[in-house]
Structure 1
Amino acid sequence: MILAIDVGGTKMAAGLVARDGTLACSRRVATPQDADAETLWKTLTGLVAPLARGLDGVGVGCGGPMAWPEGEVSPLNIPGWRGFPLRARLTARFPGLPVRLHNDAVCLAVAEHWRGAGQGSDDMLGMVVSTGVGGGLILNGRLANGGTGNAGHIGHVVVEPEGGPRCGCGGHGCLEAVARGPGLTAWALRNGWEPGTAKPGDGTYPEERQVMARVLAADARAGDPVAVLAMRRAGRAIGVAVASATHLCDLDLVTVGGGLSQAGEPLFGPLEEALREHARMGFARRVKVLPAALGQEAGLIGAAALLLAGDTYWGTSGA
């Protein structure tokens, strides 16, 4: 069994993953907000404690940026960790076990290639469109890390160079600035969106009607005109970025996961439209875009695959 860990800004998850990629069990806790480094570490160790027996290794996905493969993490959405030696701490916590850590978006891409919608593809991009926009590249059947472990970071491909929104990276018009959930919901609100067209009426929708990407996606599916326009904005931006990535890397498949991907046709229709407008070279026209298949389990499965799939996703530079 591999202990798989997925660290995000709103939740931490851990689970036991078998050698065939089956998630045997999992646990989740909320990520403490505005917490210091040691409080965050204590929360994580408390989460994994009940799972810490009979292990063969530890795989971790964590938000970036990070120093890779050293595993010193500085997640943008976890301000309490800046240069936190997460891989070294886990190595000390589990002496004698291999510990491998990568960007959480990379782990999602790895999971889709190993056991999800990307199985059988030698050249694919796995994307996540959620609080941020990230991705991982599989080229010639192996994870492409790049010099710093950040290959596949499609969120910072520029899709609106003139007048595009400012990005957290300091640039303008990045895909992440246009299509990330919080930015897109803010755009929709400025344009008159009133969340709740798709209110389920089963008691699960918060009374305060929290503005989240999944609500915007549900409203788009229900036909809310502003939500539909927002999804069209995001879908076309993703399509332009995918066309650029396909021309650069000769991809045959792109998988898209994350909260916004739940919108279905309101997102994927405009995405496909923009992709076909811009992917004009013959070799690029063969690329297919599919929704990610593994859902919330993907982060844990991908983290485990860093160990379970031989050196497919973990080369010698990450030893």
Structure 2
Amino acid sequence: MRAEYIFGVDIGGTTTKLAVITDEGQIVQKWEIPTNTSNHGVSIIPDIAAAVKLKMTQMELTKEHVIGIGVGAPGPVNMQTGILYTGVNIGWDKPVALRDELSSQTGLPVVIENDANAAALGEMWKGAGGGARDVVCVTLGTGVGGGVIVNGDIAHGIKGAAGEIGHITAVPEGGYQCNCGKKGCLETVASATGVVRLAKEEMERAEGHTALHKIMDEHNAITAKDVFDEAKNGDTAAASAVNRLTFYLGLALANLGSALNPERIVIGGGVSRAGDILLDGINERFREFAFPTVAESTEIKVATLGNDAGVIGAAWLIKYKH
């Protein structure tokens, strides 16, 4: 029997997603395991290896059935050496030989990539990228991730940090402190936490008691979903926050678009579920700020693969980069 299965792995700060995927990109099984970030994340690779070997036993797969393991990891990577430079969110504060260690513990070929890049490849291959060879993917979640695909391949840069869209400076003066050490990063105003931050600013400026104030009174907190829902309902503070978000994001994407002229820009992550109120605002700003030829030729779409994008992109790595 020819090798026809791939293990896709997407390492996150709380859980690690795994999937068994056919070489055509179809998910056969998927599951999650906790990401044990204690003790500098020393258990993460052994836990992944154990999960892969257990699934192979359960599915009665031998190494001859498996092409390899593709891994998306949260941090800059060197695909040539298989090293993840840092993974601060998972406790890896110094370089980790992720590829070689996981391969050694499973006996299978391993290819690694930054997690946002893996998600971008997934959307290009089986999602909203629609097979386009020039794609920019932006993931709006707890933070803001990104991946840049040029002529069908991920742009890495000299130290694996290309595509760090969340760290484009969006607020050059008076911006919020970002986890990366800079101030005013796109991530501080366009992530789920950034949307809430903008909304709280607008609540302070608002005259009178807004719908967001009422939610805050009842629950002692507001969420990004609350902000978008109330913006749709006409709440002035929420609408102002969403308007600022789409300004920052639309401007950043227009500048990226003018540099790269991608066929598609794909917006994913939890914030993308806001739908048209987000997409319409981004489109308006993008058309306003992008070079005219780019504004005409680049299409902005919402991602379609959801949480599966990372594991599917990791599978693409093994199929095409192994």
Quick check: TM above 0.5? yes
Deviation at 1:132, TM superposition (A): 1.6
Secondary structure of 2:75 counterpart: coil
2:256 alignment partner, one of 239, 245, 258: 245
Deviation at 1:257, TM superposition (A): 0.2
Deviation at 1:38, TM superposition (A): 2.5
- The CA distance in 1 between the partners of 2:8 and 2:155, in whole Å, is 21
1:97-176 matches, cutoff 5 A = 97-176=108-187
The answer on whether the counterparts of 1:239 and 1:275 sit within 8 Å (CA) in structure 2 is yes
Q: Figure out how many residues of one structure are paired with residues of the other and give that number.
A: 301
Distance of aligned partners of 1:10 and 1:214 in 2 relative to their CA distance in 1, 3 Å threshold: farther
- The CA distance in 2 between the partners of 1:213 and 1:51, in whole Å, is 36
2:15 alignment partner, one of 3, 7, 11: 11
1:287-298 matches, cutoff 5 A = 287-298=298-309
Deviations 1:250-272 (A, max 9, x none): 22210000011011122112211
Deviation at 1:183, TM superposition (A): 2.9
Distance of aligned partners of 1:241 and 1:178 in 2 relative to their CA distance in 1, 3 Å threshold: same
- The CA distance in 2 between the partners of 1:50 and 1:195, in whole Å, is 49
The answer on whether the counterparts of 1:73 and 1:86 sit within 8 Å (CA) in structure 2 is no
Give structure 2 stretches of 5+ with no counterpart.
204-211
The aligned residue for residue 189 of structure 2 is 178
The aligned residue for residue 286 of structure 1 is 297
- The CA distance in 2 between the partners of 1:49 and 1:294, in whole Å, is 26
The answer on whether the counterparts of 2:134 and 2:263 sit within 8 Å (CA) in structure 1 is yes
Distance of aligned partners of 1:39 and 1:94 in 2 relative to their CA distance in 1, 3 Å threshold: closer
1:51 alignment partner, one of 52, 55, 74: 55
The aligned residue for residue 90 of structure 2 is 78
- The CA distance in 1 between the partners of 2:146 and 2:225, in whole Å, is 19
Secondary structure of 2:10 counterpart: strand
Q: Which structure is larger by alpha-carbon Rg, 1 or 2? A: 2
The answer on whether the counterparts of 1:3 and 1:57 sit within 8 Å (CA) in structure 2 is yes
**Greater helix fraction, Structure 1 or Structure 2:** 2
The answer on whether the counterparts of 1:217 and 1:262 sit within 8 Å (CA) in structure 2 is no
Secondary structure of 1:5 counterpart: strand
When structure 1 is superposed on structure 2, of 1-10 and 207-216 the one drifting more is 207-216
Identity rate, percent? 33
Secondary structure of 1:290 counterpart: strand
1:39 alignment partner, one of 33, 36, 43: 43
- The CA distance in 2 between the partners of 1:221 and 1:33, in whole Å, is 39
1:26 alignment partner, one of 24, 30, 44: 30
When structure 1 is superposed on structure 2, of 297-306 and 126-135 the one drifting more is 126-135
Matched AA of 1:39:
S
Matched, 1:254 2:265: yes
The answer on whether the counterparts of 1:214 and 1:259 sit within 8 Å (CA) in structure 2 is no
- The CA distance in 2 between the partners of 1:16 and 1:248, in whole Å, is 37
TM-score calculated relative to the size of structure 2: 0.83
1:80-95 matches, cutoff 5 A = 80=92, 82-95=94-107
Matched AA of 1:22:
Q
Pairwise CA RMSD: 2.6
Distance of aligned partners of 1:122 and 1:133 in 2 relative to their CA distance in 1, 3 Å threshold: same
Distance of aligned partners of 1:33 and 1:151 in 2 relative to their CA distance in 1, 3 Å threshold: closer
TM-score calculated relative to the size of structure 1: 0.84
When structure 1 is superposed on structure 2, of 226-235 and 289-298 the one drifting more is 226-235
When structure 1 is superposed on structure 2, of 76-85 and 217-226 the one drifting more is 217-226
Give structure 1 stretches of 5+ with no counterpart.
198-206
Deviations 1:60-81 (A, max 9, x none): 0011134444233522321255
- The CA distance in 1 between the partners of 2:109 and 2:16, in whole Å, is 20
Matched AA of 1:49:
K
When structure 1 is superposed on structure 2, of 27-36 and 241-250 the one drifting more is 27-36
1:201-240 matches, cutoff 5 A = 212-214=223-225, 216-218=227-229, 220-221=231-232, 224-240=235-251
Deviations 1:245-301 (A, max 9, x none): 111112221000001101112211221121111014334432110000111111110
Distance of aligned partners of 1:219 and 1:71 in 2 relative to their CA distance in 1, 3 Å threshold: farther
- The CA distance in 2 between the partners of 1:269 and 1:253, in whole Å, is 15
Matched AA of 1:91:
S
- The CA distance in 2 between the partners of 1:121 and 1:273, in whole Å, is 23
- The CA distance in 1 between the partners of 2:226 and 2:70, in whole Å, is 32
Distance of aligned partners of 1:145 and 1:58 in 2 relative to their CA distance in 1, 3 Å threshold: same
